[in-house]
Chain A
Amino acid sequence: QVQLVESGGGVVQPGGSLRLSCAASGFTFSSYGMHWVRLAPGKGLEWVAFIQYDGSNKYYADHVKGRFTISRDNSKNTLYLQINSLRPEDTTVYYCAKDLDYGRLFMDVWGKGTTVTVSS
């Protein structure tokens, strides 16, 4: 079945870096755009970044531009999120999610999330 499994979360000090991964299975990963979404405390779901099926286009939320980098390896069916200069407010659950179809930009399959904690 279609499945997304995130990993790479953990506890990191402010200013540190982390790379999140999302392993995809059950569908042709290279045919779909992919998203990262996080659960902002007290604010609900917060879209973070999107990458086109072939990696040619990437889009970011304004508040993460310059610190977050989305990437993918279609040969490994894996999505990544590199997070640099981590701040306490980045502490939350990060989800990867699959686009329903080309260019649709909403998410029909989600992982269960990986938790990032930024603390000294």
Chain B
Amino acid sequence: IVLTQSPGTLSLSPGEGATLSCRASQSVRSNLAWYQRKPGQAPRLLIYDVFNRATGVPARFSGSGSGTEFTLTISSLQSEDFAVYYCQQYNNWPLTFGGGTKVEIK
């Protein structure tokens, strides 16, 4: 299953909202997760099962969607949120990640 993320880069200012998209080449039902990666750090699980926040993830992060279209929304960007975000499907083998969306400071 190919996951296509868009846009490739989002240039936003702190306090603005961000909407990241992940499209699957076939249905993954609700088996989709989102991760955050910062340079030199371990990736961090943000969302699983489309909309469940992982432990310790702030409420400004939310996920939605089903089937083939998914969205990660960050309601008000904080300085620590500028990073690369990946979606991952776990409905089928092989597991796959999207190509990532970089959220950068405008």
Contact = CB atoms under 8 A, between A and B. Distances in A.
Interface residues of B, number: 24
B41 interface: yes
A47 B95 contact: yes
Given A44-B86, A45-B37, A110 B43 contact: yes
Classify the secondary structure of A's interface with B: strand
A56 to B, nearest CB: 15
B54 interface: yes
Classify the secondary structure of B's interface with A: loop
A47 B88 contact: yes
Q: Chain A interface residue count: which class?
A: 20 to 34
B98 interface: yes
Given A45-B86, A47-B88, A95-B43, A106 B48 contact: yes
Contacts of A44: 84, 86, 97-100
A112 B43 CA distance: 8
Contacts of B100: 44-45
B103 to A, nearest CB: 14
Nearest to B101: A44
A110 B45 CA distance: 9
Contacts of B86: 44-45
Interface centre among A35, A43, A107, A108 (most CB of B within 10 A): A107
